[in-house]
Structure 1
Amino acid sequence: MKTIIPLKKLNESTLDIMIDKMSDGFVEKIGREITKSHRNDFCACILPNNGKGTFFVDFKEVYLSDGFMLFLYPGQVQRIIKTQKIEGWVLFFDHNLIDDYSRSVLEESLYQGPVLTLSKEQKKWLFQLMELLYDTSLLNDMSTFHKPAIKSIVVSLIYKITSIYQASVTQDTKQYSLRSNTIVTAFRKLLRDNFKEVKSPAEYAGLMNLSLGYLNDTLKMVTGNTVSYSIQEEAIREAQRLLWYSDLSIKEIAATIGFDDPKYFSRIFSKITSKSPAQFRKSHLGE
């Protein structure tokens, strides 16, 4: 039987939310499987106050300590490597609690990186809300409004995290027009949702009611990449995950991400990563 990347689901009653105080023992509390490579079908927010931790997110080691926050989006491959006297908060919540506008901002975290630097004021505000959410979740309140009250606190946290991410993204993109940034964000969302089935640059342009030339020029100006390269890069990123974390064959992986011809897939993979799929898998055995 072929091994695929395990998917961890949120099973916290019917609230679709889990919050807990974080310590070196929290790994044992929420499950040893998080030290092994997996994906989540929910969002995760890790906010330390003391100590530090090392995480592995999509082929990169990520270091977390006081003054930083780790935000993980559904689908990213991740595992905890180690924690050292870490204290703070860990929050898991259903991504469906995020509205469309906040989602468009937070999905940019997939390109900006999962670690966010916090000011003292931002950290204080987030910790206060985490404390309120934790205390509220522990109340033995059977009233009709208890669950909506908990979700409203989570939504407040989502909006605050979104505003912090938006400010950081704005610093990187403020040199470009609002329309250009909006087009790039919309294209990336469309690409993430359709890269397995849609490989044609012209088809993406058509779905966005833009000419291919205009979409290509805008994307290249803001990101430095063409539409064609971006499509290939998104597919190869998923292929890397499957090569690293599963024992599916190269032919099976090619088919999974929408390539009918394994040889063509291998050529594209080599162009993007400078390694063949077999070389990439071999170089990361045992990771």
Structure 2
Amino acid sequence: MSHTTALPGTPCATPRAGDPPMHRLEVRLPDQVPFAAGTFDTIGPMARAAFPHRHTFYEIVHVTAGTGTHVVDLTRWPLRPPHLGLILPGQMHHWEDTRGLDGSVVLFTEDFLLDHPGDRDLLRRLGERPWLSLDGPAHTRTGRLMAELIEEYGHGADGFATVLRSLLHVLLVRTARLRGPGASPQPAGRPAAVAEEFARLLARGGTDGRSVRECAELIGVTPGYLAEAVRTATGRTPGALLREARCREAQRLLVGSELSIRQVAARVGFDDAAYFCRFFRRETGLSPGDFRKHHDRRAPSIESRGGPS
């Protein structure tokens, strides 16, 4: 599964020294389906992890009860259930000061979307607004779908993987509708596919230190074609999105790791720490040191925690 899943009992993915914990999704035997569904209780204590960490998989949470805060990257979402939330691979998140947190959780890797490849773009779009407060009817519909996913996954009857993919597709489409007009996936032409691949490259963290030209070469198009495709899909330039992605990753590492500022600079592709500091101040209005002091939620790397996956 391209190193995105692990057999039960396999340790969490080992991050580079000083990085925040990285959790993989255990696959179900003997089917090895890169998917899991359950309640916060049945998924286990990591579903309520109070320390900043990342996933190699997608997580959808339907929060039905509880108080506290859900933090995704640097955005804080107060809990006033019911909510529907999405955590993308590579994002840093944790639950803070929660009491009575309850609901259901769906976990899956990108490999699980084979039957509905357009859902990759839909997930990216949903990630732009990852936390929704649900009204009564939306809460009821979402609860029914999540219950069906949990039941189907638990029974494991013949053909259950196909049913799970179909139910997940319905959940994503209906969630997109909650975001209003224009949130549905766009037709997948060649420019749209190029823009989607660039977005996936950004999400995977595969752009650190790379130029627009190098990203275009990775995707297999010219820089001009990449610029046209990305501008059509997002209204922005690849260069602006690259700067934003590097700054966002730097923010995650400053907040969620014990790396020095020089090490953070190197991780996001800057050989010169002073230049990185100027870049970061220009993008955020703060120096890396001031930013870290203001958002100090660092956790030790997983090597020192020895925690479960």
TM-score normalized by the length of structure 1: 0.77
Q: What amino acid is the match of 1:249?
A: S
Cα distance in 2 for partners of 1:178, 1:147 equals 32
Q: Contact 1:52–1:86 (CA<8 Å) still a contact in 2?
A: yes
Report the CA distance shift for 1:12/1:192 in structure 2 as closer, same or farther (over 3 A): closer
Q: Contact 1:105–1:165 (CA<8 Å) still a contact in 2?
A: no
Residue 264 of structure 1 is matched in structure 2 by 275
Shift of 1:47: 0.9
Shift of 1:49: 3.2
Q: Contact 1:126–1:157 (CA<8 Å) still a contact in 2?
A: no
Q: 1:163 aligns with which of 173, 176, 188?
A: 173
Write the mapping of 1:1-287 to structure 2, written as runs, cut at 5 A.
2-11=17-26, 13-14=28-29, 15-22=33-40, 26=41, 29-31=44-46, 34-99=49-114, 100-110=117-127, 112-118=128-134, 122-139=138-155, 146=157, 148-149=159-160, 151-167=161-177, 171=181, 184-193=195-204, 194-197=206-209, 199-205=210-216, 207=219, 209=221, 212=224, 216=227, 219=230, 223=234, 225-286=236-297
Identity across the alignment (%): 25
Cα distance in 2 for partners of 1:89, 1:2 equals 33
Cα distance in 1 for partners of 2:134, 2:193 equals 25
Cα distance in 1 for partners of 2:89, 2:19 equals 16
Report the CA distance shift for 1:187/1:168 in structure 2 as closer, same or farther (over 3 A): farther
Shift of 1:123: 3.7
Unaligned runs of 5+ in 1: 140-144
User: Which structure has the larger Rg over C-alpha atoms?
Assistant: 1
Q: Contact 1:27–1:34 (CA<8 Å) still a contact in 2?
A: no
Pairwise CA RMSD of aligned residues?
A: 3.6
Cα distance in 2 for partners of 1:94, 1:211 equals 30
Cα distance in 1 for partners of 2:240, 2:255 equals 22
State the secondary structure of the residue aligned to 2:118.
helix
1:221-279 CA distance string (max 9 Å, x none)? 76564332221111111111111111112222222222222222222212111122222
Cα distance in 1 for partners of 2:152, 2:43 equals 24
Cα distance in 2 for partners of 1:44, 1:12 equals 15
Shift of 1:127: 2.2
* Higher helix fraction (1 or 2): 1
Cα distance in 1 for partners of 2:88, 2:270 equals 26
1:131-183 CA distance string (max 9 Å, x none)? 233334444xxxxx73641x234312320232135446673579x99977666
Q: Contact 2:28–2:34 (CA<8 Å) still a contact in 1?
A: yes
Shift of 1:196: 1.6
Cα distance in 2 for partners of 1:16, 1:209 equals 31
Cα distance in 2 for partners of 1:40, 1:177 equals 29
TM-score normalized by the length of structure 2: 0.72
Residue 306 of structure 2 is matched in structure 1 by none
Cα distance in 2 for partners of 1:44, 1:261 equals 36
Q: What amino acid is the match of 2:255?
A: W
Q: What amino acid is the match of 1:114?
A: P
State the secondary structure of the residue aligned to 1:105.
helix
Size of the aligned set, in residue pairs, is: 274
Q: What amino acid is the match of 1:116?
A: L
1:49-86 CA distance string (max 9 Å, x none)? 34455211101112344443011122111111133444
Q: Contact 1:2–1:247 (CA<8 Å) still a contact in 2?
A: no
